Structure 1
């Protein structure tokens, strides 16, 4: 069978790579062409476009790059027609994917969506288009099934793929890890400022401002695979901080606490049972637009799934040195940490069992045979 997969961002690349592994396992003759990143490329198939080329953050930033976006969309449609897949699998990345899905459905291609667009966060009216254009939707958050049911659209909850990714990884040797990366014996506070240049620039400086206030800890930046060290170095300057690139899971597994940019990383941090403060700061225009259309009580996946404030969220103007210092001090306190760990264990239960990627792969193939 021929599969065309479209993913964007680092998280989409991760989930796409696991889905590809499962597809190859279930279909030995699978021919996969994809938009994604290095992880998907390492599995096999043919890479069409790397997500780095399309890493635009926020409403305003997308508008500024609208011409580039339209060129990518036009090229994607042409490439799909030439490849003529048996099924197109969209992974998150709604701004791009929903446009392609509308066109693809009209052209008669089978359309599957893995990892739903966050229509439950804003513009629920998009569900109408999803029902029209997507043959099968696979969701990974427990509340999404009930959300779609309100619109008379039956979706499949398959569990969260991060469960597999984290459970299946080799355990990190903390002593060897410290030695390999020249870390001392102080407890580690991990800094996860995101993967896009815009968010890293806005958040890392504030995170680094706490270093002198917590001398008994060592701060370590989790470098994103999409950015090189030279970019980070301009922000770090002369700050005494360690930098480890593309080893986020290893770093989280040995960390005592973390400051984390809102996104998939908040859930990853929770699954590693690391106390965290969630941070978000976008461009002023994008933030004002988002504020008016997003109707959620929370922005972090941890709080959304638990439907209560488990981790503190510092958003936009609240994300500053004073507030961040206050909240980091809290999660270093033992009593606060004990309660947080109990919530984290409950969170993991809600996410379902293992095997999300395998479930999706089997169901995709079942539709084609």
Structure 2
């Protein structure tokens, strides 16, 4: 079988790597994905964009890429689209128009439950099967036969969960992966560690960052131990301070108590709050809200992010309750998604 794949994000390729473990060896991947997984049409580095101006400059390239993928689909048996709805939804439309009977599978759906609910109708119109990683996501869809909750990929990718709370004297810091996030949070983290003595402060830095970028973006980090292994470090740490994002869900699943903090540009935050009508920004909290339970961790946003606020949360958080809640979260998500998605592709 030849499978046309469009996985443009780093996170999508982590999920694709796990998925590939469950696919038959005779399935050949064609399209856009990490070169470690086969022979893609383009290296992922060619697709990286930073900001609106860069996106405009590459607009012609992305139109060309879309057309090439549509042509490549002619010799493929099925299509797998992952995340990146800004590119993949228009691609799905073109594929559906040219190959009305070809099976199009979408894995890691756009977060229509958070904003832009109009994407639901497009997904149902263009795609054959929708693989959901959010338990409540199917509530938005009318064509229930198309959407399946397959589990969550993090339950495949996290290999160890805490069996009990431990005092390791290690505290993890994850200030995000975007330059603005890092520059906003690092000064606060640097002051915070002065007030939490006799600990090892571990700064988790994405592996894609080189030394020059780290020096320019993070500043003086001589008081931190550097780690490139997020899951392993969270497993070893007794507490964590984390920027909003997938890392908060990873920590919640592993069982490491943490505080979420996020400082965005004021205009970006205002726009985001205008369109996204959710009581929380942390995925674990969103899940607990859907379960009718109180939030699992604190969230400090914008002006509320301060050294004093984070220190108070660290000192007063009910860590035993958090640990028990982390077990409930794993039960809620049930299982990993890779094997179930592989079965959908191969059936």
Note if 1:346 corresponds to 2:339.
Answer: no
What 5-or-longer segments of structure 1 have no aligned partner? 172-184
Deviation at 1:42, TM superposition (A): 2.8
Q: Partner residue of 2:141?
A: 148
* Cα deviation code 1:201-241 (max 9, x no counterpart): 33333323312111122211111122223322232315511
Q: Cα offset for 1:155?
A: 0.9
Matched, 1:30 2:30: no
Instruction: Mark the CA change 1:157 to 1:205 in structure 2 (over 3 Å): closer, same or farther.
Output: same
Q: Secondary structure at the match of 1:121?
A: coil
Question: What is the aligned partner in structure 1 of residue 86 from structure 2?
Answer: 95
Residue in structure 2 matching 1:212, options 194, 219, 229: 194
Matching of residues 283-302 of structure 1 within 5 Å: 283-302=265-284
Supply the distance in 1 between the matched residues of 2:344 and 2:306 (Cα, whole angstroms): 46
Whether the 8 Å contact between 2:3 and 2:78 is mirrored in structure 1 is: yes
Query: For residues 131-187 of structure 1, what are the alpha-carbon distances to aligned partners after superposition, in whole Å with 9 as ceiling and x for unaligned?
Result: 1122211011211122335x76741011112112223x699xxxxxxxxxxxxx961
Equivalent in 204, 215, 220 of residue 237 of structure 1: 220
Counterpart contact for 1:9–1:51, Cα < 8 Å: no
- The answer to whether the aligner puts 1:364 opposite 2:340 as a matched pair is no
> In the alignment, which of 144, 155, 160 is matched to residue 152 of structure 2?
160
1:279: how far off? 2.1
Match of 1:319 in 2: 305
SS for the counterpart of 2:198 is: coil
Secondary structure of 2:201's counterpart equals strand
In the TM superposition, 1:122-141 aligns within 5 A as 122-141=115-134
**SS in structure 2 at match of 1:221:** strand
2:316 aligns to what? 330
2:161–2:255 CA contact under 8 A, matched in 1: no
Distance 1:257 1:289 in 2: 32
Where does the alignment leave 5 or more consecutive residues of structure 2 unmatched? none
For 1:117, the equivalent position in structure 2 comes to: 110
Cα RMSD over matched residues? 2.5
Alignment correspondent of 2:174: 192
Name the CA shift for 1:52/1:14 in 2 (closer, same or farther; >3 Å). farther
1:262-284 per-residue CA deviation (whole Å, 9 max, x = no partner) reads: 22111111121100111222233
SS at match of 1:22: coil
- 1:76 and 2:70 correspond: no
In the aligned structure 2, how far is the partner of 1:136 from the partner of 1:64? 34
Partners of 1:145 and 1:298 lie apart in 2 by 20
**1:297-347 deviations in whole A, cap 9, x for unaligned?**
11111011111311111222322333222223334xxxx100101111000
SS at match of 1:156: strand
CA contact (8 A) 1:137 1:155 kept: yes
More deviation, 82-91/218-227: 82-91
> Do the aligned partners of residues 345 and 256 (structure 1) sit closer, same or farther apart at CA in structure 2, a change above 3 Å counting?
same
Check the 8 A contact 2:285/2:297 in 1, yes or no.
yes
Ranges of 4+ aligned residues in structure 1 off by more than 6 Å: none
Distance 1:221 1:350 in 2: 30
Deviation of 1:82 after TM superposition, in Å, equals 4.1
Do the aligned partners of residues 303 and 29 (structure 1) sit closer, same or farther apart at CA in structure 2, a change above 3 Å counting? same
Counterpart of 1:306 in structure 2 is 288
- 2:43 counterpart residue number: 49
Instruction: Provide TM-score, normalisation by structure 1.
Output: 0.82
Mapped partners of 2:288, 2:135: distance in 1: 10
Determine the C-alpha separation between the residues in 1 that align with 2:41 and 2:175.
27
Give the count of matched residue pairs.
334
The equivalent of 2:264 in structure 1 is: 282
Please report how far the alpha carbon of residue 128 of structure 1 lies from its aligned counterpart in structure 2 after TM superposition. 1.5
Q: 1:197 to 1:53 in 2, by over 3 A?
A: farther
Asked if the contact 1:195/1:226 (under 8 Å) is kept, the reply is no
